[in-house]
Structure 1
């Protein structure tokens, strides 16, 4: 799995419906895999921010290259990369309890 897949599955709760699209149960919608690029698209990155806020995380930025969700802080060349890096750290370290997903 790549970073975006890990975030989609573990944080957003999306399921891979077929090799080329996600299914979002909350929105009852299909999302083409190629249409979700949080590292490059601020609107996509903000979907992650909003989900983490719903899960109880506090979102804070320090300029355009550092993002913190509670005590998990990461950097990136852009704000979208910083958001994605922080979300990946949370998802990859299993910091989001399974009962939240």
Structure 2
């Protein structure tokens, strides 16, 4: 799985409906895989931030290239990349409650 797939499945809880689209059952909508680019689009990255905040994580940023969720801090060339990198660290390391992954 790619970084984006891991974030979509484990953090956003989206299901792969077909090879080219996700299903967001909470909002009853389909999202094309090619349309979800959180490492390039800050609005997409903020969906991840809102989900992690809802799970109890505290979000902090320097506003340009660093994002932190509790004690997980990552950087990127852009804030969107930093958020994506931090979310991936959380999801890939399973450092959150396994019950929802």
Q: TM-score range by the shorter chain?
A: over 0.9
Over aligned residues, Cα RMSD in angstroms? 0.9
Unaligned runs of 5+ in 2: none
Structure 1 segments of 4+ aligned residues over 4 angstroms from their partners: none
Match of 1:27 in 2: 27
**Cα deviation digits, residues 35-92 of structure 1 (max 9, x gap):** 0000000110000000000000000002411110000000000000000000000000
CA contact (8 A) 2:22 2:33 kept: yes
Match of 1:98 in 2: 98
Length-normalised TM-score, structure 2: 0.96
Length-normalised TM-score, structure 1: 0.96
Distance of 2:19 and 2:34 partners within structure 1: 11
CA contact (8 A) 1:55 1:100 kept: no
1:98: how far off? 2.8
Unaligned runs of 5+ in 1: none
Q: Matched residue pairs, number?
A: 101
**Cα deviation digits, residues 3-23 of structure 1 (max 9, x gap):** 000000000000000000000
1:95: how far off? 1.3
Distance of 2:67 and 2:18 partners within structure 1: 32
